[in-house]
Amino acid sequence: MKITSAEFVTSAVKPPHYPAGELPEVALAGRSNVGKSSLLNKLINRKRLARTSNTPGRTRLINFFLVNGIFHLVDLPGYGYARVPVGERDSWRKMIESYLKTRPNLKGVLLLVDSRHPPTAMDLQMYGWLKFRGLPAAVAATKADKLSRSRLLQSLRVIRAELALAEGDALIPFSAETGQGREELLEVINR
């Protein structure tokens, strides 16, 4: 798939604020600071359409981007940022859950995990929950440029094993620095 256009549509907290219409959607989920904004920007070839920052947990809304005029990429708020008060964390969880549960447009979820670390408890919970809901999922292992080739392969094995990736669920090493994995991710999203 080639990206010919990408634009920000809207931010939403609740279902009534989601964009109207029936365009298919692919959502991006992952813990804060996993590299979600960087991945999104790289996918759509923009420097700053999705905000990147060194302050984890800044993106607190569900952000909808229209791609090629035919589908939405949906940036879900990053989870698991420790310095956020419990009450706020709870409201994030509800925000993410109600999107994943109620949105008929949703066709699949791209879960981002950090290639340098084993999946966190919340990554495991998220992946398990997606499978439980029967949502097609793919996993991107971010910041792949930070590992040597052999460490990366080792790490991918750990991620695949710990998440118990279902047959057919892709695990794609990705780097926003080098563009590694970009074509593959676009293919998975297209599917």
Planar angle of CA 20, 26, 28, nearest 5 degrees: 115
Cα(162)–Cα(159) distance, rounded to whole angstroms?
5
What minimum distance in Å lies between the beta carbon of 186 and ligand GDP?
A: 16
* Of residues 106 and 141, the one with the C-beta less far from ligand GDP: 141
CA 73 distance to own-chain centroid: 9
Cβ at position 47, least distance to ligand GDP in Å: 12
Query: Going by C-beta distance under 8 Å and a sequence separation of 6 or more, which residues neighbour residue 40?
Result: 28, 49, 50, 65, 73, 75
Provide the minimum distance between the beta carbon of 168 and ligand GDP in the complex, in angstroms, as a whole number.
25
Residue whose beta carbon is closest to ligand GDP: 35
d(CA 65, CA 50): 9
Q: How many residues does the chain have?
A: 191
E-state strands within 47-153: 62-67, 71-75, 106-114, 137-142
Binding residues for ligand GDP (CB under 6 A): 30, 32-38, 52-54, 56, 78, 142-143, 145-146, 175-177
Cβ closest to ligand GDP, residue 97 vs residue 177:
177
Nearer to ligand GDP, 33 or 155 (CB): 33
By beta-carbon proximity to ligand GDP, the closer residue of 153 and 166 is 153
User: CA 84, CA 141: separation in Å to the nearest integer?
Assistant: 24
Q: CA angle 37-39-42, nearest 5°?
A: 105
- SS3 of 57, please? coil
11/102 with CB nearer ligand GDP: 11
**Shortest Å, Cβ 129 to ligand GDP:** 19
Shortest CB 43 distance to ligand GDP, Å: 12
